[in-house]
Chains A and B, each alone.
Chain A
Amino acid sequence: MINGVGRYIPDNLKPFISSDNYQGIPRKQIPKKTKVENTQFVENISTIFELINIKSNMTLSFHHHLRNGDKVIQIVAEEIKNRNLLNMHIAPSSIFPSYTNLVDLIKNKNITNIHTNYLNGEVAKIISQGYLDGELIMNTHGGRAVVIESGELPIDVAFIACPVVDKNGNGHGAIGKSACGTLGYAISDLEYAKRVVLVTDTIVENLEEYQIDGKFVDYVVKIDSIGDSSGIVSGTTEVTKDPIGLKIAKDCANLLDYLGLIKNDFSMQTGAGKTSLAVVKFVNDLMVKKGIVGSFASGGITKAYVDMLESNLFKSLYDVQCFDLDAVLSYAKNKNHLAMSASEYGNPYEDNPICERLDFVILGATEIDLDFNVNVTTDSLGNLIGGSGGHADIAHGADVTIIISPLVKSRIPIIKEKVMTVTTPGSDVDILITERGIAINPRRVDLRQKLKNSNYPIFEINELLEMTHKITGVPRKIETDDKIIGYVQYRDGTFLDCLRKVKDEY
């Protein structure tokens, strides 16, 4: 059948209807995990496999807070390989380029199904080529919390990398030799997985403050090292020097100001790319100039936001993951630098999740189409190169959702008649800012009215597309293979789009 964004979805799956369809559906929660009386401390991962009797066809989950430095998913993968377990289902919140040893396991059908929010690197490449035997489900950060709490994604064992654990099984991410800051993506796994294993390299007597509550923890494994610190905090902290990126960022900040969004008690979120960081810098300058104090910034947190918190430009930060060392240190010491779980961040069924409280968000796009649908999951050939993360969550939650992108990247126009893959429905995307003009979603009559008499170069999105085609030429239409390799799942658990194998000729 055809779903609410005009995409084909097989009849056995719930189709996406609209981004606020969840409002009429009651929250579904399986019981949380019962209290664990005695957390057991174990010497190695292999013993855990014995104790829990991890076998073929099980579902194992992970978080990605250690990012490119993560060793835990790789150690568990080695164990799966050594035991030759087959048809495993893994549910990491993201898959990073360093997780290269998953490649052989996928090719050899040790791992056949994956549920994740973002993936990049070699694993993404081979899945695009059709090597995953089962299905890949790409959800949002908030949506992952939804399918875990509802029992749609039952987790047999959650392996939670945890930089420090105490004798009671309580865990924290802010300190320890592999400190990574908050552990927001692991909380649903902790509360709903059948078995929970903390994997750490640092055990202390007693933690005063902790994010992981030991009452849910069945086992703690101490290994030599859970992460390579240089890969953990790999986020970009540099503002772009690219004049096109800077121009877009400047126009974006000025537009926010023109729309009256930079006002006392406002809240915002941006991506962590170099152009987004430039927007943050310009917003910072505007706030200083106008004496504005914002309510909060949220998301993955970077140094730029830490600096704003410390100069009292924001009252607090809601942090689901720390992108750099400054964010990790700030989370450890500043009481206004608050952790949030993926559920508190983006689960539509939470009472007033953070994403719903945002005034505006600044996001990127690999492609955007004439209906304002955004793709950040695949490139224009269909190769997997990312995923929603929180994109679709905050695009829906925020009052104003702005996409910033150059019109052309290496001759490829970012505006398409139809995006290759829908990650975020166009109904949740309000403004596109490019170096040659701005387009406003026709649904936002209010924003169009406000900008009617401005000096901004405002076009219809199809006019921007025509302008781009005059520069680049019209690109040839790309065909995908018929084979479906997975699906994009919306945050309410419905299905937005199919992911298809990339044709061999590309």
Chain B
Amino acid sequence: MTRMHTIEVENVTKEFGSLVAVEDANFQIKDGEFVSILGPSGSGKSTILRMVAGFETPTTGSIAIEGNEVVGVPPFERNSNMVFQNLALFPHLTVAENIEYGLKQANVDKETRQKRVSEMLETVRLEGYGDRQPDELSGGEQQRVALARAIVNEPAVVLFDEPLASLDRKLRQHMQFELQRIQAETGITFLYVTHDQDIALSISDRMIVLNEGAIQQIGTVEELYNAPMSQFVADFLGDLNAIPSTITDLSEEYVTLDTSEGTIDIELDAGGRNENLIHSDGLAEGEPVNLCLRPHEISLQTEPPGDGQPSVTGTVKSRMFRGNEIAYIIETRWDEFLVIEDAGNEQLTNGTPVHLTWSRAGTYLFTPANGTKPNPKPA
């Protein structure tokens, strides 16, 4: 028997009146994967999740769970369970009764139900909490109950609609580890929706980045972080500083950019990051391009760099101490740049004129986005 994908989403579009919430979404999720759908609010990520769960119907396209088409199948006949944003624990039932609910609907006999419930309480580390009411539990404990309720029936996939958003940072981090542990223990496929790139980067195997209803890029967290295909993805997965420029010369090995602070040569075969430049294939001389730099890749110095190393100038605007590193806001002619340096380096005072340099490998070239919507490139 061939192994099906747990979830296959094919050409799914969802319109609410004239609003296109999701536009031609295509992706597959393998059995046992932990995948995040990441996007700003209003990007359509919850709509995708609710279509998989069966609470919304796609306008066009098809969704399959374990190889079975589910469009038109009501939520109670789908092999998926959801952890809701507000958790939606049944207030009139105890913790154990909440977890038992799905088993009862599946007509599991009472003995097995009790056994499964106590196993679940153990899995989510809530032994002895079975007789409590949900509102007697802390936020983190309620999250665990919601999770236990969603995995007790061993569905093909558990869907998460940003349930950790309401927790404080420390508890959220703790729950992220718990989610990973439980996913590894149970082997159930997890599909997690969030607007928080830190959560998505830290918990998932693969990410689907969404903007304004359209999928921007799909890949492992490393791929998306290191080789983003658009400025939107790069910016969303970590801060990005952009220097607007125009291509003045293009050859096999070099591209020459004209910025309002002189010309900068970028080597095109500089190793790993070349990937990014290749993605700007098709660009011709005279076209605009953004030279983008991650905050960690920039170094600050008070003296101008020698031997033709590219640099731009700016002024220190403010400085934030962050323990082992220092974040600087640098006023440049384009925008305020965020630069992060090791705390061991010489500290610069506000108002100091500085030169910003970067390693060759630390640059990204992107076509400037029109508004907030970059041009997605097919994978």
Partners in one complex: no
Residues of B with Cβ closer than 8 Å to A? Answer: none
Residues of A with Cβ closer than 8 Å to B? Answer: none
